[in-house]
Structure 1
Amino acid sequence: MARYVDGFVLPVKKDQVEAYRKIAEAAGKIWMDHGALAYVECAGDDLQVEEMIPFPQMAGALPEETVIFSWIVYESREHRDQVNEAVMADPRMEALMPAEGSEPFDYKRMAYGGFATLVDY
């Protein structure tokens, strides 16, 4: 069965990666509790590749920022919709949100999309 993936790319200030990790760790548990098959958050490490568009450039990252690359795996697009609806209704999500002005990243700079799988081993 072809799975469905939500993908995210976002710039985060390097000194805010730990704060972001704590939020992501708690959010991942919520997604998994509601049925996601996998939840992965990765911080940029080897991002300057010659002859290709580097992730920082693609994400519009500033010199003091790194890039977070994340994905969540679901059984299908319909399953994604069900899981996300449950996650957004979960009171733990609201409790996770930092106070305005103290967010570890700018939500408006996050790239997001849902992807149908082409190859899945």
Structure 2
Amino acid sequence: MSRYVDGFVVPVPTENLDAYRRMARKAGKIWREHGALEYVECVADDVKPGKTTSFPQSVKLKARETVVFSWIVYTSRKHRDAVNAKVMSAPRLADMMDPKAMPFDGKRMFWGGFKTLVEL
């Protein structure tokens, strides 16, 4: 069964990791309640700057920041669009959408939707 994945990468100040974790848990619960199959957030453990490109370079990582790599799984793009429409209108998410309240620099976050190419 082919699935659809939203992936995103964000730089998080290490001093804000606990706040980010709390926000991610809350967001993940909302996504799952509205139908996402999986919600995963991972903190960098072995990501070094590269010569040409890398996770740190992709978010213009600053001192005392770490990279968070995350994904949300859906049955299809249509399913993703329906889930995200519900999530974005969820009142519990509103307070997390204020850029001033975010525990990271949202301007350096990047994301996208992906069709499954190989699934074992």
Q: 2:56: which partner in 1?
A: 56
Q: Relative to structure 2, which stretch is displaced further, 46-55 or 57-66?
A: 46-55
| Number of residue pairs the alignment of both structures matches | 120
Return the alpha-carbon distance in structure 2 between the equivalents of residues 103 and 90 of structure 1.
17
Q: TM-score, normalising length from structure 2? A: 0.91
Q: Structure 1: 5+ residue runs without aligned partners?
A: none
Aligned amino acid, residue 85 of structure 2? E
Spell out, residue by residue over 1:17-39, the C-alpha distance to the aligned partner (whole angstroms, 9 max, x if none): 11001000010000000110000
Cα-Cα RMSD: 1.9
Alignment of 1:16-27 (within 5 A): 16-27=16-27
1:117 aligned residue: 116
Q: How does 1:28-47 map to 2 (within 5 A)?
A: 28-47=28-47
| Higher deviation after alignment, 51-60 or 28-37 | 51-60
Q: Report whether the alignment pairs 1:104 with 2:95.
A: no
Bigger Cα displacement from structure 2, 56-65 vs 17-26: 56-65
> What 5-or-longer segments of structure 2 have no aligned partner?
none
Structure 1 distance, partners of 2:101, 2:75, is: 34
Deviation (angstroms), 1:50: 6.7
User: Percent of pairs identical after alignment?
Assistant: 54
Cα distance change, pair 21–88 in 1 and its aligned pair in 2 (3 A): same
Displacement after TM superposition at 1:101 (Å): 3.1
Q: Cα deviation per residue 1:30-56 (whole Å; 9 max; x = unaligned)? A: 000011000000011111277774311
The answer on whether the counterparts of 2:44 and 2:69 sit within 8 Å (CA) in structure 1 is yes
Displacement of 1:76 in angstroms is: 0.1
Task: Compare 45-54 and 104-113 and name the one that shifted more.
Answer: 45-54
User: Match for residue 66 of structure 1?
Assistant: 66
